[in-house]
Amino acid sequence: MVKKKMMILLVPIQAMLQLLVVLVLVCRSVEASAAGLAYNYYETSCPNVEDIIRREMCSILASDVLGMGSAAFLRLLFHDCQVQGCDASILLDGTDSEMSSTRNFGIRKREEIGQMKSNLEKVCPGQVSCADIIALAAREAVSFAGGPHVQIPLGRRDSTTSSHLLADSLLPSPRINVDQLLHIFSSQGMKLEESVAILGAHTLGAGHCLNIADRLYNPDPLDEMDFTFELSLRLLCPTRIPITNLTTAPNDSTPTLFDNHYYRDISSGRGLFGVDSSLSRDPRTAPIVAQFSVDLPYFFQTFSSAFVKLSSANVLTGNLGEIRRSCNQVN
Residues identified as active-site: 79
| SS3 track for the chain | CHHHHHHHHHHHHHHHHHHHHHHHHHHHHHHHHHHCCECCCCCCCCCCHHHHHHHHHHHHHHCCCCCCHHHHHHHHHHHHHHCCCCCCHHHCCCCCCHHHCHHHCCCCCHHHHHHHHHHHHHHCCCCCCHHHHHHHHHHHHHHHCCCCCCCCCECCEECCCCCHHHHHHHCCCCCCCHHHHHHHHHCCCCCHHHHHHHHHHHHCCEEEHHHHHHHHHCCCCCCCCCHHHHHHHHHHCCCCCCCCCCCEEECCCCCCCCCCHHHHHHHCCCCCCHHHHHHCCCCCCHHHHHHHHHCHHHHHHHHHHHHHHHHCCCCECCCCCECCCECCECC
Beta bridge partners of 158: 322
